[in-house]
Amino acid sequence: MGIQDPVTAAQTPAEDFQIEQRWSLYTDDEHAVWRELYERQIRVLKDRAVPEFYDGLAALNLNEGGIPDLARINEKLMDLTGWEVISVPHLIPDDIFFDHLANRRFPAGRFIRGRDQMDYLQEPDIFHDVFGHVPLLAQPVFANYMEAYGRGGIRALKWDCLKNLARLYWYTVEFGLMRVGDENKIYGAGIVSSRTESVFSVDDPSPNRLHFDLERIMQTDYRIDDFQQIYFAIDSFEELFEATQQDFAPIYDYMTGSDKVFDLTEILEGDKVYNIGTQAYANAGGRFADA
Ligand code: HBI
Ligand code: FE
């Protein structure tokens, strides 16, 4: 995918996989794809995302139209939380990814999807990475969580617990929900950047929705090919950040080597349940049944 982007392909990445964005080389059509995706998501999200997401879009001028120039985002973002966004060619190795996060650099794909892939992508493009992830990096507590996650990732590699930590990323950074009053709102980038999951994740009766629980999440598998069958909701970004402020060593100690995984639809003693899903979507075979 990155390979199909000539500006990406023309560059040899640095050792940390960074490349130059070369913003002036995006074509009019690439900017038009961004605008279509942007306008579509704003429409479909309505007020389904957390307020901090919309605040971030506005604070970083991501609502200006066209693919953002990372240099301009970074001027603002640096001031707000000390984060910056860098371009990378494609998925990068875990250790390098974590090292960037631990140093408050968020790696974003340079390329943007084509019109034949408006709804589904194998590798994160700049729309997913920047529209989905970057607004919350303007939120100080979430920004601290991402840095802590990066440092945690480096340690998880040493403990051979990457699988467990990757699940935490998946169920928070990518597919996390937040309780706002008695409603579920979206903060996960994988949802916020998806036309169909934006609605499914909060409105559909199929999936289970439970309260966030760090160790439980670390032992819950996830789906990469379809909507989630289970979502976890936090009360606040403080709750998320605080959960990472403990020594993970004892957790990793009992998880190392063990491959204990809870079934996707299993409800455990101690789960705080918001709703038990019908699983109608998954049982019908899934894959965007009525999308
Ligand atoms: N590389 N570009 C990029 N983007 C990611 O989200 C990413 C990655 N490499 C590894 C990785 N994610 C995983 O380690 C985490 O999602 C756990
Ligand atoms: Fe992502």
Coarse DSSP helix, strand, coil percentages of the chain, rounded to the nearest 5 percent: 50, 10, 40
List Cβ neighbours of 163 (8 Å cut-off, separation of 6 or more).
none
**Separation of alpha carbons 147 and 141, rounded Å:** 10
The half-sphere exposure of 3 on its side-chain side, counting CA atoms within 13 A, is 1
Mean pLDDT score across all residues of the chain? 92
Residue 62's closest CA among 126, 7, 144, 105?
126
Report residue 3's pLDDT band, with 50, 70 and 90 as the boundaries. low
Fold for the domain defined by 11-283:
Phenylalanine Hydroxylase (1.10.800)
For a ligand 1 pocket test, name from 97, 137, 168, 169 the mutation site with the most ligand atoms within 8 angstroms of its C-beta. 97
pLDDT digits 0-9 by tens, 35-93: 999 999 999 999 999 999 999 999 999 977 899 999 999 999 999 999 999 999 989 99
Closest CA to 134 of 184, 59, 240: 59
Q: Which ligand ends up closest to the CA of 108? A: 1
- Tally the residues of the chain: 291
Q: Is the CB of 121 under 6 A from ligand 1?
A: no
- More confident: 130 or 162: 130
Tell me what pLDDT residue 289 has: 63
Could you give the 3-state DSSP secondary structure of residue 207? coil
pLDDT (mean) for 100-105? 97
Would the pLDDT of 115 be above 70?
yes
Question: Per-residue pLDDT for 257 more than 70?
Answer: no
- Ranges of each domain in the chain: 11-283
Residue nearest to atom 5 of ligand 1 (CA): 91
State the closest ligand 1 atom to the C-alpha of 107, by its place in the atom list counted from 1: 2
Share of the chain above pLDDT 90, in %: 79
Q: Which amino acid is at 81?
A: T
Amino acid identity for residue 205 in this structure: P
The model's pLDDT over 27-37, given as tens digits with 9 standing for 90+, comes to 999 999 999 99
Tell me the C-alpha distance between 39 and 45, whole Å.
10
